[in-house]
Amino acid sequence: MDFSSKITIYRPYDKQSGKDLNKTFNKSWLATAFESDRGRIIQSAAIRRLQQKTQVFPLESNSAVRSRLTHSLEVQQTGRHIVRTIFSKLKDEAATFGLQDLEREVESLVEMSCLMHDIGNPPFGHFGEAAINDWFQSFLKDNPNFKNTTDPILSAELKRELESFEGNAQAFRLIFSLLRLNLTYTQAASILKYTRCGTEPKPSQDNPLNYLKKKVGFYYSERLHIEDMSEHLGIEKGHRFPLAYLMEAADDISYCLADIEDGVEKGLLSCEQLKQMLIDEFAEIVNDWQLDVDETFLTTRKAGYTVSFAQAVDYALSRANKEPINKTHEFFVWLRVQLIHPLVEHAADNFIDNIESVYHGSLNRALLEDKSLFHAIIKTFKNVAVKKIFSSAEVEMKELQGYRVISQLLVAYQPLLDLSTSEFGKLVSGERIKNLIASRLYSRLPNKHVRAYLESINSIQESSNLNLLEFYYRCRLIQDNISGMTDQFALEEYQNLYPS
């Protein structure tokens, strides 16, 4: 088990960079390479767009409510905290696992994977994903492009994938195909949360990798990049890269608190109501899972001083009641002070306790999903968010509006998918066609998406399934266009195409 063999400077479009490193490990090259990754990521358009995609409340004007960008910054900080905690616990034992002198490099990799983890999300979050999938399921149901084919198996697989749009997979499409960030394979692999290609069916519950494959992790269009990355980093098929577990844990810790804080900020419930809901929900989960309800397991910064979950929530409310100006802020500050540290400690302990399966990427669960009291905390916040935030009339209305916007944008762009392969080829080559609506819609497509489409088409010219694959990449082009929009731009495009 040697983590240093998985932390390399190899990039997909710079093959020479990995050759010397495979012969001689040079730490200074790592620092330079990962600093370059950091710059490429932070300066990318995908990160900038996160500031106009909201976390819970679509099209929210209240700047105190989180955007995808501010959420990702919080996840980034938590990821950094987890890495530092792991190295603090390992101390000299880090050398046993090939991690000696790599704390800064691992910290940078996890920070950047946390910052990137949501870049593939479409406008309006999960309802945007649902709108894309529902529309394509209907549109492709009897589509002749998937019926009149010489390869019915590939046709069925590609159809399945196009009906399974997933933000995690779109993130890899952005990295490799649309933005061509040319990140080190080590950095890119750190965000591979799920390991199933979109052409594969969802695994059964008895599959030993059912958690790792429960969602689509990458598309057919990026499969060769994933294969190359996995081969170089020694990742077995269906397995994860070890640092992805840390990114996932940081996200779990961050958003379970953040979503509820946004709900309180919006006035959906008070701190007093939230306190009781949290205590009741936690008690119910502890009872269902038959955990030790009396255990005081949350260790504060004062050594030897422990509190129960209920005591921690009570204390946060008592501090808030003493605050004369911003009670909500004070409540969540002290909730974080008491909860984040022990959750980070538990994630770090789980990483170390399961380090062999984590190293091989075969641990078939999240670090914090272990039916422990810490897992119960995460579950408590998620359950309360579902019951009181996501089910609120305001959020549901915004989600329905977002669903309609995305659905109608796809209807508007459908004429581009109704063209034959030869007609669309003429359009791409600059020739005039009779369908003026399709011509006008084509001119609205982002140039980088069109160039990515053309590169894909050039790579399949010798294929016996040319028409099938061309239509697949054309559907990808439309999904790239819609999913790349911000919430506000999607609404404006909808209003432009459907003026009232």
Would you name the residues annotated as active-site residues? Answer: 71, 117-118, 251, 440
**Pair of tokens at residue 497:** 């195409």
Please name the amino acid found at residue 2. D
CB distance 191 to 171 below 8 Å: yes
Question: Cα(49)–Cα(41) distance, rounded to whole angstroms?
Answer: 12
β-pairing verdict for 298-299 and 216-218: unpaired
Question: Cα(331)–Cα(316) distance, rounded to whole angstroms?
Answer: 5
77, 243, 112, 88 alpha-carbon torsion, rounded to 10°: 40
Secondary structure class of 298 (helix, strand, coil): strand
Sorted by sequence, the CB contacts under 8 Å of residue 196 that are 6+ apart come out as: 202, 203, 212, 213, 214, 215, 216, 217, 238
Question: Cα(370)–Cα(360) distance, rounded to whole angstroms?
Answer: 19
Please name the amino acid found at residue 470. E
Question: Cα(267)–Cα(405) distance, rounded to whole angstroms?
Answer: 26
What kind and span of H or E run contains 474?
A: helix 466-483
Question: Cα(292)–Cα(438) distance, rounded to whole angstroms?
Answer: 63
Sorted by sequence, the CB contacts under 8 Å of residue 252 that are 6+ apart come out as: 366, 368, 378
